[in-house]
Amino acid sequence: MKHINKIGMMAVAGAMLAAVSCSDYDDFNTAPSAVDPAADKTLWENIASNPELSEFKSVLERLGYDEVLDASHTYTVWAPVNGSIDMNYLNSLSDEKAEKVFLKNMIANYAHRENDLSDTVIYMLNEKLLKFANKKSAGGMTFDGKRVLANQNDPSVYNYPSVNGLLYMVEAPSDFRYNGYEYIFETAGVADSLMEYVLRYEKRVLDEANSVKGPIRDGVQHYDDSVIIVSNSLIGQTLNSQIENEDSMYTVLIPTDEAWVDAYNRISSYYKYIPTISYQDLSSTQVGFTKGTSGTIMKANVGAVTVNLTTAPADAKLQETGPYWTDSITKKLITQNLIYSDGHKKYNGKLASGIPFTETDTLYSTSRRYLTNLPALDAATVETVRLSNGRARILNAYPFTAENTYAPTIKTRAVGRVLANPSGGTFSTVSYFGVDDSICTLDPEEEGILTYVKADVPEGSNYAPELDFYIPNVLSTTYDIYAVIIPKCFEFEYRDIPEEERKPYTLYFDINYTDASNTQISGRFDGDTIQVGNANVKKVEPFMVAQDKIDTLKLGRLTFPACYVGTGAMPNIKVMHSVSSFLSSYKKKYEQVLRVANIILRPVDVKEEE
């Protein structure tokens, strides 16, 4: 039984035939009449009677195509002459593979005529697109770059008209090239890890409507020609690509097993999960704090909500909850930047041209991520393979940085709670001026505008407002943690206040997170690390924040033992004044209204950790 495999992420046959061939459709399925003695024979009979095609004839017989080319269906065959076929290689292949990479690469549906002088792209039986060219040049006609030989009976023409199609003789077989999807499965022994992972997401379904039904045996419908729709949710949906599409151009990065293991070990250390993880629910104003003479002190276990991670699927190799989450997310992160479309010429042009990358270059992956550190990509490339729709690069190392890929900087102003009794918190924007570019807090979609969260109080209030921020997507790694504080004079209505009336902030920053045993930890940043326990917390000196510039404060360095990504749980950071209420003496000295542009967590470089 013959199989025509089609990748299901694309609409294939009809549309592509219409797009890629310029043959005359009025008689596309009709073999031409001619005086040539071959004209009253089938394609198979013409091939079998030609001594220069005996090797090709033997392949047709082996694969059952003697019957196919003797039937009434119309085909065009480009038959390679004796001596041009690597018979030893062909005989080493299975029938299924020999049919795909050789025979179907020589045969197309319908009659493709030489008198159509325009170059045409032919849709072959194996769904490859091959060029039938140079028809205007005497003696220069080619198929996939291989010279087409003149008709031995009539040198003024090239084809041998047959009752069921056209036969051409060519000096050598057309070259078979895998597309990006197919080539992943040709890397056995080199990139088994990637191949096995991609295969997990593949789904094959019989396309009954387009398959040719055969006999019913034992009550089961069999097919003479079965069309299999192949879909892959990882390639088509997660990675947003069509690397199976012969009419698109991609670069596919294929890490060797050694590179895969290296990447897995690096990435998985950032994604260590625990079976249950708890966090403080900030929806209540009564959660997680007490008042004290040195300001609010965050309690460790008040308001804790526990999240149980979902169990692994029944067919998962790793059944422990934590390891499954780590394994699944790590592998998805390895693959998320492996595919690049040539359509993004602004970023990906050098992949197509092969020009070496420089430190200033950027790539844009199909998963919509920008990648740098590209000289490392060149250095890791041990082989570049030409594909039917682009190229594949074999990598012996994973070249991308943590910042670019699996451990980005976290920037948030996601307020979980505002304590600014009785007015609550408000969001505001200020115009960009006098901001140090190194702060990197500008919203990219509104260049020139800096957004901040404002916790305001009514005129005359003695209330000391607080802002509690959820910190999303925290990894099991070490971060340097910063807060970006906005002074009053950057607010539009106060931009002209005299310098002598500008007041600094004096602030504390507390954090709540969970350790590896799911115990809630609360502490106060001191500029280097955090202090825990009331006695130590009370000794922490407040941060003094400048009154006339946007100040980026380094709060301290902290290692999170457990990963939060995907769990719904989040640590939180409290921003508060160093006083519990604003008496008249404090109002004269310190700014009361809180304005916070960002809380920033920057992962510490792995090499620094070592």
pLDDT in tens, 239-270: 999 999 998 999 999 999 999 999 999 999 99
The per-residue pLDDT for 298 is 54
Residue 216: other Cβ atoms inside 10 A: 9
- Given a cut of 90, is residue 155 above it in pLDDT? no
Q: What is the pLDDT of residue 490?
A: 78
Per-residue pLDDT, averaged over 383-387, amounts to 96
DSSP secondary structure letter of residue 370: E
> Residue 437 above 70 pLDDT?
no
pLDDT of residue 293: 40
List the Cα angle 274/368/249 in 5-degree steps: 125
8 A C-beta contact, residue 572 and residue 469: yes
Is the Cβ–Cβ distance between 180 and 209 less than 8 Å? Answer: no
How far, in whole angstroms, is CA 582 from its chain's centroid?
A: 51
Q: Is the pLDDT of residue 8 over 70?
A: no
**Cβ neighbours, 10 Å, residue 402:** 17
User: CA geometry: angle at 416 spanning 410 and 421, to 5°?
Assistant: 135
Q: What is the mean pLDDT of residues 350-375?
A: 94
Strands 165-170 and 75-80: parallel
The CATH number of the domain covering residues in 2-170: 2.30.180.10
What is the reported pLDDT for 4? 39
**Mean pLDDT score, 37-62:** 92
Reduced to 3 states (helix: H, G, I; strand: E, B; else coil), residue 149 is strand
For residue 32, the one-letter residue type is P
When comparing pLDDT for 478 and 119, which is higher? 478
- Answer yes or no: is pLDDT of 522 > 70: yes
* Predicted pLDDT of residue 312: 78
Has residue 588 got a pLDDT over 90?
A: no
pTM reported for the whole predicted model = 0.80
Give 515 or 285, the one with higher predicted confidence: 515
Give yes or no for a contact between 390 and 252, defined as CB atoms under 8 angstroms apart.
yes
Q: What is the pLDDT of residue 445?
A: 47
What is the Cβ-side half-sphere exposure of residue 71, based on CA atoms within 13 angstroms? 8
Q: How confident is the model at residue 500 (pLDDT cuts 50, 70, 90)?
A: confident
**Identity of the residue numbered 308:** N
- The pLDDT of residue 234 is 92
Which of these ranges, 2-11, 118-127, 333-342, 513-522, has the smallest mean pLDDT? 2-11
The DSSP secondary structure of 157-203, one letter per residue, reads ---EEETTEEEEEESSPPPP---HHHHHTT-TTTSHHHHHHHHTTEE
Maximum average pLDDT range among 163-167, 402-406, 545-549: 163-167
Instruction: Give the CATH fold of the 279-298+407-609 domain.
Output: Jelly Rolls (2.60.120)
Which residue, among 362, 318, 358, has the nearest Cα to 344 in the 3D structure? 362
Domain boundaries, the chain: 2-170, 279-298+407-609
Return the bridge partners of 280, or none.
Answer: 304
Asked if residue 291 has pLDDT above 70, the reply is: no
Confidence of residue 26 (pLDDT cuts 50, 70, 90): very low
Average the pLDDT over each of 128-142, 195-209, 257-271, 437-451 and give the range with the smallest value: 437-451
pLDDT computed for residue 315 by the predictor? 73
More confident residue, 16 or 269: 269
Q: Which residues contact 578 (CB under 8 A, 6 or more apart)?
A: 294, 295, 506, 507, 508, 542
Query: What integer pLDDT is reported at residue 287 of this predicted model?
Result: 52
List the structure tokens of 15.
């549309």
**3-state SS, one letter per residue, for 507-550:** EEEEEEEECCCCCEEEEEECCCCEECCHHHHHHCCCEEECCCCC
Q: Which residues contact 7 (CB under 8 A, 6 or more apart)?
A: 181, 229, 230, 231, 232, 244, 245
Element (H, E) at 122: strand 120-123
Largest distance between two CA atoms of the chain: 112
Share of the chain above pLDDT 90, in %: 55
- List own/partner pairs for 152-160 with CB under 8 A and 24 or more apart: 153/36, 153/37, 153/38, 154/35, 154/36, 157/36, 157/114, 158/114, 159/113, 159/114, 160/36, 160/38, 160/46
- For residue 6, pLDDT over 70 is answered with no
d(CA 487, CA 504): 7
Contacts of 336 (CB under 8 A, 6+ apart): 238, 239, 365, 367, 369, 405
- Residues 502 and 507: their CA atoms lie apart, in Å, by 16
Tell me, what's the pLDDT at 605?
67
Looking at residue 7, its pLDDT comes to: 39
Bridge partners, residue 60, by sequence: none
Ordered DSSP codes for 270-315: T----SEEEEE-TTSTTSSEE--TTS-EE-SSTTEEEEEPPPPPTT
Query: What is the rounded CA–CA span in Å between residue 164 and residue 41?
Result: 8
Instruction: Give the closest residue to 4 by CA, choosing from 99, 72, 79, 76.
Output: 99
What is the DSSP code (8-state) at residue 135?
T
Q: What is the predicted pLDDT for the residue at 314? A: 75
Phi, psi of 194 (to 5 degrees): -65, -45
Asked whether the predicted pLDDT for residue 48 surpasses 60, the reply is: yes
Q: How far apart are the first and last CA of the chain?
A: 58
Model confidence band, residue 279 (pLDDT cutoffs 50, 70, 90): very high
- List the single range of 47-51, 86-90, 107-111, 453-457 with lowest mean pLDDT: 453-457
Mean pLDDT, residues 170-192: 96
pLDDT, residue 432, reads: 55
Compute the average pLDDT of residues 161-184. 96
Mean pLDDT, all residues of the chain: 84
The predicted model gives 74-86 an average pLDDT of: 96
For residue 11, the model assigns a pLDDT of: 34
pLDDT at 294: 46
Would you say residue 53 has pLDDT above 80? yes
Q: Is the pLDDT of residue 27 over 60?
A: no
Identify which of 119, 114, 35, 103 has the alpha carbon closest to the alpha carbon of residue 69: 103
